Amino acid sequence: MKVLVLDLWGDYAHFRKYFTTSSPLTFAFPPKTALYGIVSAIIGLDKNEYLKYFQNKKCKIAIRILNPIKKTRISINYIDTKIAVDMGGIRGRTQVNLEVLKDVKYRIYFYHEDNELQEKLKTFLKEHKNVYTISLGLSEFIANFSYIGEYRAKEINEGKMAEIHSIIPFNEDIKIKFDSDREYLKDTVYNEMNENREVTEYIRVLFERKGNSITSTIPHHLLESGERIVFI
């Protein structure tokens, strides 16, 4: 398996949690479905059709936190766009304190069964080109990216403790070595979405707030670069 590796970063990010359609809370990292959108924007897939390229587990993604997770709040105004004929004369705005991530940076590991799609992404990444503007959750939060490389990955399933550098799916069957100087966080995120934008899979994940590795017995992939990752 050949895995594309890229870094993704920005000043601010907001990946809305699923509690309501206007939840002010954010995940600490981009869910897999959000990364589908970012990859599609880079290579120019139509926003109304791109999800069909990521059905049936054709795509594998791992996420590594590079910058410590920092959150702040920004006040924004929501308006009813259905009646916004005259934007300057709108009344009755709803102000919300939006939770946002600050100074974010992630390392993304990407594999797709469609070799043509993967090679196209590789070309765009190497040339630092994108068809559509990429953002981190909201259109106002513009993102940047850089190509790190393409590495072969070897699957490891020995049941031994190893340092995992990415976010890991959490279940009760794996063993975790908890270090006292690290901050471990657990969350439930949406992980797959059908072409009608309906969430079809949620998973529980474990990550370390500062981006440190997690020592675990979970099966993983070892890259030529030396990084150990788990696809979600």
Q: What is the pLDDT of residues 92-119, one digit of tens each?
A: 667 778 899 999 999 999 999 999 999 9
Find the mean pLDDT for residues 41-48. 95
Distance CA 198, CA 20 (A): 14
Read off the pLDDT of each residue in 76-102 and give the average, rounded to a whole number.
71
Question: Which range, of 15-29, 78-92, 124-138, averages the lowest pLDDT?
Answer: 78-92
Whether the pLDDT of residue 27 is over 90: the answer is yes
Taking CB atoms within 8 Å and a gap of at least 24, the contacts of 194-203 are 194/51, 194/55, 195/49, 195/51, 195/52, 195/55, 197/51, 199/18, 199/33, 203/169, 203/232
DSSP letters, 18-41, are: SSSTT---B-SS--HHHHHHHHHH
- Other C-beta atoms within 10 Å of 31: how many? 26
Residue 173 pLDDT: 85
Q: How many helices (H) and strands (E) does the chain have?
A: 2, 13
Q: What's the rounded Cα separation, in Å, for the pair 38 and 6?
A: 12
Name the CATH architecture for the domain at 2-229. Answer: 2-Layer Sandwich (3.30)
Q: Is 61 within 8 Å of 137 (Cβ atoms)?
A: no
Q: Is the pLDDT of residue 210 over 70?
A: yes
| pLDDT over 70 (residue 135) | yes
Q: How many Å separate Cα 88 from the centre of its chain?
A: 35
- Retrieve residue 146's tokens: 């850089």
Considering Cα of 151, then 102, then 24, then 74, what sign does the dihedral take?
negative
CA angle 121, 122, 125 (to 5 degrees): 85
At 85, the pLDDT band (50, 70, 90 cuts) reads low
For 142-186, write each residue's pLDDT tens digit. 999 999 999 999 999 998 999 999 999 998 889 999 999 999 999
Q: How confident is the model at residue 87 (pLDDT cuts 50, 70, 90)?
A: low
What's the chain's average pLDDT?
Answer: 92
CA distance 216 to 89: 57
pTM, entire model: 0.92
